[in-house]
Structure 1
């Protein structure tokens, strides 16, 4: 139990840490992956750690249905659907987004797990948030009229309760790193909705854990990433009574590698994915982990990661993203050369 909150058991804990020997030899660092992509439900991914706490809260409140939000191809939505199915709940996803012209990737997986996906058009007369909130209220009412008790989960599961999943992970990771006898390890994770990074940060600071933490943003933060981080942390601190007093300077966060937008096709990211796949047989996705790994490669090149440094990247999953139309088209163009029809 953390800060008065218990969890359900979804993960196969602890997730393993894999040494990337071939890449490490190439780069002159010691690079490891913490495999949060290899988890029990819905093809795996980091959101399951958050959902362990969120689903427990939902069950404690008597919920019969989980309602969440994100983009059309939300990984969090997929894993919410998987968690709901596992615990006998209904599920739905609301995306203020356009229909992509096909049912592929996460949309297929959502349907397999009996999850309703509502794609809501925004005509531009209102903000995306206004359209989303109206849609949440409408869909919640529809399901409540059918007798369901709806529990709402925000984008990415990145609220205060969801953050506890990666606070847990920080404790798990610290124990593993001590067992491995790694000197001055540096943990690097993707930053999107920020729940993964925030949980690791809160755990690291409040439990005095012996690793450094760097977050790599995969989308722009117009209001400032440190400002977003300190507001999120202070909200958690107030709710849970955490002791650490954070300043913006305590957050090691980089916005240098988001490539201009969220989930945009990017050649440098695909090249990083090809490099890792060809060297280690491990696959990353073009929206989250691929961008983060491409950022790590650039950090090594620039000297922001030192030779001989011990680096552990959190592999957060998201592999279905490869099969989304706008990414898949680019992969198909570049990988056609490997197909030989005889």
Structure 2
């Protein structure tokens, strides 16, 4: 139980924490990776920690179906589908996105796991947020008329309940850091819908953990630290947290989002190739590729402290490599590795 809330424990935790020695040597920093991509359902990823809490809450509410939202290739949706299958729920995803022209990557996995995917057409007038809200209401009504009790999970699982998954992870990391004797730990994590970052930040502040935290923004926000402060204040009110945080307490680098969410970026692909060729670890082009690209560039500019031990959380998302708009760029760049003999 964390902060008075129960969860269904289904993860193979603790996930590995390992030093990447070749990357450390070449970048001139002590670089570690927390392998949350190796969690054990739906090809793995960070959202499973959040779903341990959502599944328990859904069970407590007598739900029979899990419904969530995101982009067409949402990792969170894919993992929601996996856990729905594991625990006997139906599942559905609603996305304001066009059909990408093929069923690949997460969409393929969604179908394999029996998840209903609803892609909402834009009409050029209605804001995406309203389209999404209307579609969620329509899909909920459709399935409840069929006898299901629908439980809604927000985008990315990023609300007060979902953040507890990474509150737990911060405590898990603290134990591993102590066990391995890692000095001056500095956690690096992707910031998308922010639930992963916020769970870590809340735990570090309220459990007095000896670690720094930096988020790497992977999509534009109008006011990212303002959003973080608002999110933390909701956590503080919900759980009675003691620590008071200010804007300046949230360290989020926004220099490497490349102006959009899930956009193809040559620098990011180069970072993915670099990691694959040095450590045999696969990153994704939307989240972890952007995050490691930021780490790599900051290290090459000598902007990372030699005193700190940097621990990047690998949040998964690997199916994203197989989406058409990323895959097509990689196919051109990697063709010289293909030999027909």
TM-score (norm. length: structure 1): 0.99
- Say if 1:28 and 1:308, in contact at 8 Å, map to a contact too: no
For 2:19 and 2:177, the matched residues in 1 are separated by 12
Secondary structure of residue in 2 paired with 1:296: helix
For 2:54 and 2:236, the matched residues in 1 are separated by 18
- Say if 1:12 and 1:40, in contact at 8 Å, map to a contact too: yes
* Cα deviation, residue 257, structure 1: 0.7
User: 2:78 matched to 1:78?
Assistant: yes
Runs of 4+ that moved beyond 6 A: none
User: 2:87 matched to 1:98?
Assistant: no
* Cα deviation, residue 103, structure 1: 0.5
Q: After the TM superposition, which residues 35-74 of structure 1 pair with which residues of structure 2 at under 5 Å, given as runs?
A: 35-74=35-74
- RMSD over equivalenced CA pairs, Å: 0.7
For 1:326 and 1:28, the matched residues in 2 are separated by 33
* Cα deviation, residue 182, structure 1: 1.2
* Cα deviation, residue 308, structure 1: 5.1
For 2:277 and 2:38, the matched residues in 1 are separated by 19
User: 2:311 matched to 1:312?
Assistant: yes
For 2:254 and 2:57, the matched residues in 1 are separated by 33
What corresponds to 1:219 in structure 2?
Answer: 219
What corresponds to 2:301 in structure 1?
Answer: 302
What corresponds to 2:242 in structure 1?
Answer: 243
Q: After the TM superposition, which residues 2-151 of structure 1 pair with which residues of structure 2 at under 5 Å, given as runs?
A: 2-151=2-151
Superposed CA deviations along residues 232-284 of structure 1, whole A, max 9, x for unmatched, are 00011101111111100111111011111100000000000000100010100
Q: After the TM superposition, which residues 274-289 of structure 1 pair with which residues of structure 2 at under 5 Å, given as runs?
A: 274-289=273-288
For 1:288 and 1:279, the matched residues in 2 are separated by 19
Superposed CA deviations along residues 129-169 of structure 1, whole A, max 9, x for unmatched, are 10111101110000000100000001000010000000000
Superposed CA deviations along residues 279-303 of structure 1, whole A, max 9, x for unmatched, are 0101000000000000001111222
Q: After the TM superposition, which residues 255-274 of structure 1 pair with which residues of structure 2 at under 5 Å, given as runs?
A: 255-274=254-273
TM-score (norm. length: structure 2): 0.99
What corresponds to 2:322 in structure 1?
Answer: 323
* Cα deviation, residue 19, structure 1: 1.1
Secondary structure of residue in 2 paired with 1:32: strand
- Say if 1:65 and 1:149, in contact at 8 Å, map to a contact too: yes
- Say if 2:184 and 2:307, in contact at 8 Å, map to a contact too: no
- Say if 2:164 and 2:199, in contact at 8 Å, map to a contact too: yes
For 2:303 and 2:53, the matched residues in 1 are separated by 35
* Cα deviation, residue 306, structure 1: 1.9
What corresponds to 1:173 in structure 2?
Answer: 173
* Cα deviation, residue 10, structure 1: 2.1
Superposed CA deviations along residues 100-119 of structure 1, whole A, max 9, x for unmatched, are 01100000000000000000
- Say if 1:10 and 1:41, in contact at 8 Å, map to a contact too: no
* Cα deviation, residue 11, structure 1: 1.0
User: 2:195 matched to 1:191?
Assistant: no
What corresponds to 1:202 in structure 2?
Answer: 202
Unaligned runs of 5+ in 2: none
For 2:277 and 2:72, the matched residues in 1 are separated by 30
For 1:255 and 1:72, the matched residues in 2 are separated by 24
What corresponds to 2:157 in structure 1?
Answer: 157
For 1:263 and 1:193, the matched residues in 2 are separated by 13
* Cα deviation, residue 93, structure 1: 0.1
Unaligned runs of 5+ in 1: none
Secondary structure of residue in 1 paired with 2:220: coil
Superposed CA deviations along residues 53-111 of structure 1, whole A, max 9, x for unmatched, are 11111111100000000000000000000010000000000001100011000000000
Secondary structure of residue in 2 paired with 1:37: helix
